[in-house]
C-alpha cells in the first residue's frame, strides 16, 4: 500500500517498480494507492495504472494527512499481510521480502530500521540524522522503549494485528488539513502494538535520502514531539484498550 499526496511526478515509476516486485510472487497480490486528496494528477495516474498480474486499487480520500491515509489504506487491504511504503521508495521494495520473512517466522509486525550494523543510510543530511536520533531517544523514554527506529516509512503487518492496531489509532485521523503534514503516527501504531502484546521485528534496511521531502524541520518536529507525549497520555488513560 502506498500513501500518496501530490506524487504525480514519480508515481508511475514507483507503481511500475512495485508491480514488477509483486508480479514475481507465486501468490495473489494487490497494490493499493491511497490518494490523500492530492491536487495534482495523482488520482488520475493511480486510477489509470493497469496490471495483468496484480490487483490494483486506487482510493480517493479526503486530505487528512499521512496518518489517516495509511490508516484507511491498511484497513482496506484484503491480503494475509499488508505492507506500506513511501511513494519515493527511499527503501527499495525488494526489502519487503525481509519483512515478509519475519512475519512468516512468527512476528506480528515487521518494521524497516535505518539503525544497526546491517542498516545503511545513503545521502542523509547530517542535521536530519541528528534530529532523528534525538527524536528516537525521546520516543524510547516516553512511548516505545525498545525500538531503535520508529519512523522508517516501511512497515508490514499480519492482517488481523493490522486491523486491531489501526482501528485504535487516534492521532490525526479525523479532520481535514492543508498542505503536507508529517506526524508521529508510527509511534502511536507501535505503542498500540506493544499494548496489545504483538511481537515486533525490527529489520535493517537500506534507505536513501530522496530530494523533494515534504518535511518542515521546525514545524513538523514540534508536532512530532507533541504527538509522542499525546501517545503516552492516551496509553496511560487506556484510550487504546
Report if residue 212 sits inside a domain. yes
Report if residue 45 sits inside a domain. yes
Q: What is the pLDDT of residue 131?
A: 87
- Domain span including residue 68: 2-236
Report if residue 20 sits inside a domain. yes
Average pLDDT over residues 8-35: 97
Q: What is the pLDDT of residue 170?
A: 96
Higher pLDDT, 127 or 177: 177
DSSP for 64-115? --HHHHHHHHHHH--SSEEEEE-TT-SS-GGGHHHHHHHHHTT-SEEEEES-
Query: How many domains is the chain built from?
Result: 1
Q: Are 167 and 75 spatial neighbours (Cβ–Cβ below 8 Å)? A: yes
Average pLDDT over residues 103-109: 98
Report if residue 241 sits inside a domain. no
Q: Read off the CATH number of the domain in which 77 is found.
A: 3.90.550.10
Q: Are 101 and 204 spatial neighbours (Cβ–Cβ below 8 Å)? A: no
Q: Are 206 and 91 spatial neighbours (Cβ–Cβ below 8 Å)? A: yes
Secondary-structure percent of the chain, ordered helix, strand, coil, rounded to 5: 40, 20, 40
Task: Say yes or no to pLDDT of 100 above 70.
Answer: yes
Average pLDDT over residues 37-47: 98
Amino acid at each position: 500500500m502506498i500513501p500518496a499526496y501530490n506524487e504525480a511526478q514519480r508515481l508511475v515509476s514507483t507503481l511500475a517498480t512495485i508491480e514488477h516486485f509483486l508480479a514475481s510472487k507465486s501468490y495473489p497480490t494487490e497494490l493499493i494507492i491511497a490518494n490523500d486528496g492530492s491536487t495534482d494528477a495523482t488520482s488520475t495516474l493511480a486510477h489509470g495504472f493497469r496490471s495483468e498480474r496484480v490487483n490494483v486499487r486506487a482510493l480517493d480520500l479526503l486530505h487528512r494527512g499521512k496518518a489517516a491515509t495509511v490508516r484507511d489504506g491498511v484497513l482496506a487491504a484484503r491480503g494475509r499481510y499488508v505492507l506500506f511504503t513511501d511513494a519515493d521508495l527511499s527503501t527499495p521494495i525488494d526489502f519487503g521480502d525481509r519483512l515478509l520473512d519475519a512475519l512468516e517466522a512468527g512476528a506480528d509486525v515487521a518494521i524497516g530500521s535505518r539503525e544497526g550494523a546491517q542498516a545503511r543510510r545513503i545521502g542523509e543530511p547530517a542535521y536530519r540524522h541528528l534530529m532523528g536520533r534525538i527524536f528516537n531517544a525521546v520516543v524510547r523514554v516516553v512511548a516505545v522503549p525498545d525500538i531503535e527506529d520508529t519512523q522508517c516509512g516501511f512497515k508490514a503487518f499480519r492482517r488481523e494485528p493490522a486491523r486491531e492496531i489501526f482501528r485504535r489509532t487516534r492521532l490525526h485521523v479525523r479532520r481535514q488539513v492543508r498542505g503536507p503534514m508529517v506526524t508521529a503516527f508510527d509511534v502511536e501504531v507501535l505503542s498500540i502494538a506493544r499494548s496489545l502484546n504483538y511481537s515486533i521485528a525490527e529489520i535493517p534496511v537500506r534507505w536513501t535520502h530522496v530530494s523533494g521531502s515534504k518535511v518542515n524541520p521546525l514545524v513538523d518536529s514540534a508536532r512530532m514531539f507533541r504527538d509522542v507525549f499525546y501517545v503516552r497520555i492516551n496509553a496511560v488513560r487506556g484510550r487504546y484498550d
